[in-house]
Amino acid sequence: MNVSVREVRRDDLSAIAVIERASFSDPWSRAMFDAHLMVRGGNLFLVAESGAALVGYAIVRTVHEESELLNIAIAPERRNQGIGAQLLDEVIRRCRASGALEMWLEVRESNVGARALYAARGFTAAGIRKRYYHAPREDAIVLRAAIGVDVRSETVTQPVQGLHAGSVDSIISTASHHPRQETK
């Protein structure tokens, strides 16, 4: 069945919470999703829909030329069908259109599936946050992609010169500096 991507609505939150709990050992609370629903400028909260069913979501925050992917998940029974890739492509397209040049995210070191998805979209490792995640405790790999260039059309929208361009320490921090549940 065709999958479409649209902006979130308040009445999506129950279905999102179900997917979140099925996807993460340290799920976001309903209040955290609520908060992202309220935030406007720079915040993008998209859902993927298949027929009447909500099958995934993604949340991104953009400040100036940098976007940060805060959360993405697909319903377990709908994984490996290209929906995560479709959703991430739409997120990147919209962030690029709003002027972002780079996208950053963190991923559990052991999350092979997500890392494969990000690698296929041009994300590369920029560093490690030691013991960043809890339940279970695990390092985060920090990934970065230049998104100012659409590699499929090779259209250069702006020179790729993000704030973090240049050398990046392999260990970005030894402890979590975010409240843990701010990002996945």
Ligand X SMILES: CC(C)(COP(=O)(O)OP(=O)(O)OC[C@H]1O[C@@H](n2cnc3c(N)ncnc32)[C@H](O)[C@@H]1OP(=O)(O)O)[C@@H](O)C(=O)NCCC(=O)NCCS
Of 68, 106, 132, 133, catalytic? 106
Q: In angstroms, what is the minimal distance from the CB of 161 to ligand X?
A: 26
49 classed as catalytic: no
Please, is 57 exposed, middle or buried when counting C-beta atoms within 10 Å of its C-beta (0-12, 13-18, 19+)? buried
Touching ligand X, residues 16-45 (CB under 6 A) = 23
**Do 43 and 96 touch, CB atoms closer than 8 A?**
no
> In sequence order, which residues have a C-beta less than 8 Å from that of residue 166 and are 6 or more positions away?
none
> Does residue 77 have an active-site annotation?
no
Does 80 bind ligand X (CB under 6 A)? Our answer is yes
Question: How is residue 48 annotated by DSSP?
Answer: E
Interacting residues with ligand X between 125 and 154 (CB under 6 A): none
Pick one of 13, 60, 100, 117: the residue that binds ligand X (CB under 6 A): 117
CB of 63 to ligand X, least distance (A): 19
Asked if residue 82 binds ligand X (CB under 6 A), the reply is: yes
Q: Applying CB under 6 A, what is the total number of residues that bind ligand X?
A: 20
Tell me whether strands 171-173 and 43-50 are parallel, antiparallel or unpaired.
unpaired
Q: Are 62 and 44 in contact (CB under 8 A)?
A: yes
Interface residue with ligand X, options 14, 93, 113, 151 (CB under 6 A)? 113
Our finding on whether 181 is near ligand X (CB under 6 A) is no
CA-closest candidate to residue 105, choices 90, 122, 93: 122
Task: Give the residue, chosen from 3, 13, 47, 73, that forms a contact with ligand X under the rule CB under 6 A.
Answer: 73
Q: Are 96 and 147 in contact (CB under 8 A)?
A: yes
Distance CA 33, CA 181 (A): 11
For ligand X, the closer CB: 79 or 164: 79
- Catalytically active residues are 106, 118
* Binding-site ranges for ligand X (CB under 6 A): 23, 72-74, 79-85, 107, 111-114, 116-117, 120, 184
